Amino acid sequence: MGNWIVNNGLSAFILVAWMGINIFIFVWFYLSYDLGDQFFYTRHLLSSGLPWARAPAAVLNFNCMLILLPVCRNLLSLIRGSFMCCSKTLRKQLDKNLTFHKLVGYMIALMTAVHTIAHLLNVEWLNNSRQGAYDELSTILSQLEDTNSTSYLNPDPQQIPTRFAFSSIAGLTGVIITLALILIITSSMEVIRRNYFEVFWYTHHLFIIFFAGLVFHGAGRIVRSQQRTNPLHNVSYCKDRSDDWGTLPECPIPQFAGGFPQTWMWVIGPMFLYLCERCLRFIRYMQKVTYRKIVMRPSKLEWHPFTMTSAPEEDFFSVHIRSAGDWTNKLIDIMQQLPEGAQGPNVCFPRMGVDGPFGTASEDVFDYEVSMLVGAGIGVTPFASILKSIWYKFKDSDPKLRTRKIYFYWLCRETHAFEWFADLLQVLEKEMEERGMGDFLTYKLYLTGWDQSHTTHVMVHFDKETDVITGLKQKTHYGRPIWDKEFEQVRKENPTSAVGTFLCGPEALAKVLEKKCAKFSDVDPRRTKFYFNKENF
């Protein structure tokens, strides 16, 4: 339990705070519309449909304000950078930005549903009131028109509900933005997002329509409240004497006015921030700078994030890209058309825009005394850059480097994926041996997709000093790592340290590692503690 609090306490607190604010807003606005005197006559027409529509509207305002913030990558990098002095836990929260974005998205979807259903009922009741289907007070209230001496309460001009909805600003914008929201949600489902990223990416830009419609949604001011008149209209006395309004001294004709639209006040700030964010990305696209994590786009419309495999200390930057879809395959085609070893001013290289840098979880590796780096397949790329960087820092005895031991686990399904990374490990292995720093890096490679032919090959070459697959001194393991044993070993070798565990890989593995971190951490601050950090794109 103590471990859970240490690892997840701040996230849980933020979630509870966010949910608490949502509940507070809902209840506050619900009661305000349910009990407020100025809505007495409105409630007579709409009964509880009014508060049930307005309370989710307020929650929607709050969440639409929040939803753009977790995806302002540059802003988050800025915050992350300025928190360098502060605790790692704070910075870890910024890594969960996408989870928060999705959570806020779900809340928006839920509140939209409640808001829409309440307003559907309201429109029906307004229409019925207009047609005199209810009591006398309702009919009289509905008949108030916008003239010199009166103002309307019932916005429905006696049309069928569908026509009323589509002819009012609120109705039209409401339908359009709900449609946009539904399209955004269906294309964001996991199966679409993972396998057809472009559909998700382009459809998600419907958020522009969503926000545009949202800002104008309340412009019609059709939710009306009663205004002060001189002399005052005594509601409790006059509600039963609707025939005598205008003739009795206590009952002048009640005046109504719509509420001032407020949504724009909530969302204008984040919309502006996001606009700045996109402008910044576009400006960077026009420049050429070096970064740690970059976003590349060969076409003007597509952006894809990649992690760099070169270290900041080097004077070039490299990325390793796995072919996994349209864009990556197109890139490989373009690259393959270039002549081999092409250099010089006469060769026409493809133009690439890069944007960044975007700080990620892996930047914190340098702050831990002991680090466990786990990379699955292509997920090893952030660690390639980090291993190189740590090695440069170590060689130059950089005082800011707190790391004194690294455990590196590389899980891979096929052998051919080892080739490009094996070179790096071979170089590191050789240099470490030359300097007698063999202890610094312990690496273990796991081939998870082995079969009979592998084992036969290995059995034949058992006695060789270097591994048959990678050519490294460290032999390749077969199958998945037994994490209990690994964590136990790390704990035994580092009994008093804070160990940072970094993963770049599949979600299932993240869950396993998170559990192990919790299991093997000691609440006692003098003993070993494991901190889990997950990298994702």
Binding site for other proteins (CB under 8 A): 113, 116-117, 120-121, 123-124, 127-128, 160-162, 165, 175, 178-179, 182-183, 185-187, 189, 191-192, 195-196, 198-199, 325-326
Nearer to other proteins, 121 or 518 (CB): 121
Q: CB 189 → other proteins: shortest distance, Å?
A: 5
Burial of 325 (0-12, 13-18, 19+ CB in 10 A): middle
Q: CB 225 → other proteins: shortest distance, Å?
A: 24
Nearer to other proteins, 105 or 161 (CB): 161
Nearer to other proteins, 327 or 368 (CB): 327
The CB density around residue 131, as the number of other CB atoms within 10 Å, is 12
Residue 145 CA to residue 153 CA, distance in Å, equals: 8
Q: CB 416 → other proteins: shortest distance, Å?
A: 20
Nearer to other proteins, 161 or 377 (CB): 161
315 CB contacts (<8 Å, ≥6 apart)?
A: none
Q: CB 51 → other proteins: shortest distance, Å?
A: 17
- Phi and psi dihedrals of 448, rounded to 5? -90, -10
The CB density around residue 315, as the number of other CB atoms within 10 Å, is 7
Nearer to other proteins, 434 or 451 (CB): 451
Q: CB 447 → other proteins: shortest distance, Å?
A: 21
Q: Cα separations (Å) of 264 from 57, 60, 65, 271, 537?
A: 13, 12, 9, 10, 31
Q: Which residues of 178-216 are buried (b: 16+ CB within 10 A; e: fewer)?
A: bebbeebbebeeeeeeeeebeebeebbebbebbbebbbb
Q: CB 361 → other proteins: shortest distance, Å?
A: 27
CA-based nearest residue to 481, from 372, 382, 365, 405 = 372
Q: CB 477 → other proteins: shortest distance, Å?
A: 25
| Residues forming a β-bridge with 226 | 256
Nearer to other proteins, 172 or 248 (CB): 172
The strands making up 498-504's β-sheet, listed across from edge to edge, are 477-478, 441-447, 405-412, 370-376, 498-504, 529-534
Could you tell me the end-to-end alpha-carbon distance of the chain, in angstroms, rounded to an integer?
30
Amino acid identity for residue 85 in this structure: C
Nearer to other proteins, 210 or 502 (CB): 210
Q: CB 111 → other proteins: shortest distance, Å?
A: 14
Give me 493's structure tokens. Answer: 């070798």
Q: Are 464 and 427 within 8 A, CB to CB? A: no
Nearer to other proteins, 182 or 335 (CB): 182
